Amino acid sequence: MPTTGNRNAVVLIRDERSRAVCSLLLRHQGYTVYEAAHAEDVLEITLDHPVDLVVSDLAGEARADLQNALAGVPGLSCMFVRLRHDLREVDHMLIRSGAAEPFAAATSRN
């Protein structure tokens, strides 16, 4: 279930941990965030909810297919990212910014 905000975003990032970090950052910025594991999920979400932003790490043909499928959605922005980072550094940045408690500790309570 998404956290309520004043804008809606869909995060389609293949790596689950990276997707969670991106979602956390967007929630901190006031977005209601829907997480998607596949491009088909993004399309379903945009049919069910007004979406302002899609963040994805898809590349190549998959990226082009998603862009084409979303082209008709009014007011939608897409941001395609290339993730190359050490998530331990992201954890420290989030803690220093006040956006989150230690992310590794929060996700290890399964």
Examine residue 19 and state whether it is found in any structural domain, yes or no. yes
The total domain count for the chain is: 1
- The predicted-structure confidence for 75-99, as pLDDT tens digits, reads as follows 889 888 876 655 555 555 555 555 4
Examine residue 73 and state whether it is found in any structural domain, yes or no. yes
pTM for this model (two decimals): 0.72
Give the pLDDT band of residue 74 (cuts 50, 70, 90): confident
Could you tell me which of 37, 66, 32 has the C-alpha nearest to residue 51? 32
Domain that holds residue 31: 7-107
Examine residue 2 and state whether it is found in any structural domain, yes or no. no
Examine residue 84 and state whether it is found in any structural domain, yes or no. yes
CATH code of 30's domain: 3.40.50.2300
Examine residue 71 and state whether it is found in any structural domain, yes or no. yes
Q: Are 95 and 101 in contact (CB under 8 A)?
A: yes
Examine residue 67 and state whether it is found in any structural domain, yes or no. yes
Cα torsion angle, 39, 69, 59, 20, sign: negative
Examine residue 55 and state whether it is found in any structural domain, yes or no. yes
Which residues lie below 8 Å from residue 74, measured CB to CB, with a gap of 6+? none
